[in-house]
Structure 1
Amino acid sequence: MKTHILRHGQTEYSTKYLVNGDPSVPVQLSEEGVRSCQRAWTVLPLHSLRTWVASGFPRAQQTALLLTGVPAADLVIEDRLNELDYGEFEGGPFLGYGDWLDRRGAWRRPPGAAESQREGIRRMLLGVQACLALPGPRLLVSHGLLLSVLFWQQNRPAGEAMPLFFPEAPCLQPLDVQDAVLGGWIADLLSDLDAEASQDPDDRGDAAI
């Protein structure tokens, strides 16, 4: 069985490289984001899908509904696929968060955030893992960080450690993976995160002032 995972369509936030990790902020697709969902029918086997899953964010659910072409009463909402909690960086440029991340490290939680980057990645991976129990083939509509991690894992050089920053994942570019392969990726990535956490446990927790 196969899982198709993609980042939501374009938004005004994504074109300006602003971060939004708060699902209560109503960030919707841009006009181009809506049009690109219509074009996605040519690259995704949408008629064969049995399960549709979206994160708890409006833009992910809007993307899924546009792809179905009909009201999707059976859309599964999986909050573990949500975007990263950016804390005080919410609504600001990614470069601001990126600079903080570079200085503080992947296991530190930004002020006001409930999770660090690595904690967020773990959450997302567990969300994908849970979705593998749903009837397939399935489509998961999520966010850039999750897709960036999975695309990196797909082409990962042997022995390379998980980086702090990942190449940006394009909107609506699907990652099509056999379930057995995807399950192996998740197991490897979770093992990497466990190893990181055990090596430097003092670098975890709330951000230093």
Structure 2
Amino acid sequence: MNLYFVRHGETKENQGGSYYGSLDVELTEQGILQSHRAEEILRDINFKTVYISEKKRAEQTADILLKNKHCNLIRDSRINETNFGEFEGKAYDKIKELYPAEWKLWCENWRDFAPPGGESYLQVYGRVKSFMDDILKLDEENILIVTHGGVIRSIYCYILGGNLDFFWSFGSKNCDITLIKYEYGNLFIDSITHV
């Protein structure tokens, strides 16, 4: 099985370095161009099933990637980006200024700390693990998953035995294409392509 993970194209919040997950924002012109470049790379691959997060940026990216393709499109909340609660839409320095106590807790225990009204990375990993456990039960050759940077990093951790220590060991740029293969019971990262 070939699992093609694509991070959505660039948004204005990416440009500004904001933490955002639950904000439902659209792609920039650059994000649209990135999505078209990714579509060229994936053009000749036949996808029967495509999973996307519930966010506009993932849907817009998928629409471009699937140009002229007829696929079973499934929205799955388990691959939504981290909900940063009251930190949503704010850059790191602004969070530090507005929420000094919470920021300190976040820095000391990033895995377990949930911003006010948000979720922790451990909670995000839990839903990503549930998604991956279900995906690996499918019998399909190629599956496309259009999602978010935090989700993709969580998937890398899943491949590495669920160790969240690896979360910050990988980058995830807008419209990166990650090919993960599942063969003979083994799950491995085959390639990461920057567009």
Note the residue ranges of structure 2 that are not aligned, 5 or more in a row: 97-102, 189-195
SS of residue matched to 1:162: helix
Q: Following the alignment from structure 2 to structure 1, what is the Cα–Cα distance between the partners of residues 176 and 56?
A: 19
Match of 1:111 among 96, 108, 116: 116
Match of 2:130 among 120, 126, 131: 126
Residue matched to 1:50: 48
Counterparts of residues 180-191 of structure 1 (less than 5 Å):
180=183, 184=187
Q: Following the alignment from structure 1 to structure 2, what is the Cα–Cα distance between the partners of residues 81 and 47?
A: 22
Q: Following the alignment from structure 2 to structure 1, what is the Cα–Cα distance between the partners of residues 122 and 54?
A: 20
- The structural deviation recorded for 1:128 is 2.7
- The structural deviation recorded for 1:29 is 0.6
Residue matched to 2:177: 174
Residue matched to 1:144: 149
- The structural deviation recorded for 1:153 is 6.8
| Bigger fraction of residues in strand | 2
The sequence identity of aligned pairs, in percent, is 24
SS of residue matched to 1:171: coil
My pick for the range that moved more, 162-171 or 115-124, is 162-171
SS of residue matched to 1:40: helix
Matched, 1:3 2:3: yes
- The structural deviation recorded for 1:100 is 4.9
Normalised by the size of structure 1, how large is the TM-score? 0.72
Q: What is the number of residues matched between the two proteins?
A: 179
Note the residue ranges of structure 1 that are not aligned, 5 or more in a row: 186-209
Normalised by the size of structure 2, how large is the TM-score? 0.77
